[in-house]
Amino acid sequence: MILTIDIGNSDTVLGIYKNDKMLDHWRVSTDYKKTVDEYGILFNNLFSFDDVKIDQIDGIIISSVVPQVVRILEKTTIRYFDLKPIIVGPGIKTGMNIRMEDPREVGADRIVNAVAGYQKFGGPLIIVDFGTATTFCYISKTGDYEGGAIAPGIGVATDSLFKHASKLPRVELKRPDLAIGKNTVSGTQSGIFYGFMGQVEKLISKFKEEIDGNPIVIATGGYSELFGSEIESIDHILPFLTLDGLYYLAKLNEIKQDG
């Protein structure tokens, strides 16, 4: 079995794969204050729901945008799993050319998404990751990572709104019944939801203007199911694209599985 771990700024998503199938997945808060032993207990508790034992894990691969947590989890996997994880970064095999001015600037999660998307659909591709930041990535027909855009995620944007507009109440993030709100709550929900949709649709449209060919558009990340079904230009909603990409990279970098 392969344990895949994607550490984001807000959430950490984990998945267990066996023979090319995801057995289960979990989403927990990213917490750099947790100790090695606390993470060890967390893994053991999560695995118990599927009757998976720690010693059944053959390999571990991690992508992260939070370096402090990587260091803690690396110590955790060595102590509790007796395994040194693969960390997505310079030197790892990806099979993808990064055509950026400085390839080291590209977040590990974006590369993993790009690899997974290209393996599933070929190119050209646009991948929209609805996370703490909303990232847009373009992968060419030949499988090169060509660049992208980064915008504030909806959680960050709404938190900032409520922080700086003290009279606005915090509202549930959902699709409103009408764009024209009849009260402060419905009006705020409309502005947040449809305003964010407009941002995503506009960036996808601008990408398509600059791309040779008709790209497939994939949505992934924590809010992908909420918004992906509302945006017509999105072709596929794959919430666990990053975990699939990590599993592919684990095999590409020759993590072996028993059985």
Q: Which residues are catalytic?
A: 109
Alpha helices in the chain (DSSP H): 36-48, 67-76, 108-121, 154-164, 184-210, 224-228, 241-252
CA separation for the pair 23, 84 (Å, rounded): 22
Instruction: Tokens for 19, please give them.
Output: 């023979």
CA separation for the pair 163, 251 (Å, rounded): 44
For residue 96, the SS3 value is: coil
Count CA within 13 A, CB hemisphere, residue 128: 31
Instruction: Tokens for 164, please give them.
Output: 């700086």
For residue 50, the SS3 value is: coil
CA separation for the pair 252, 126 (Å, rounded): 23
Closest by CA position to 3, among listed 94, 106, 92, 84: 84
Instruction: Tokens for 126, please give them.
Output: 């646009």
Closest by CA position to 122, among listed 207, 216, 47, 243: 216
For residue 152, the SS3 value is: strand
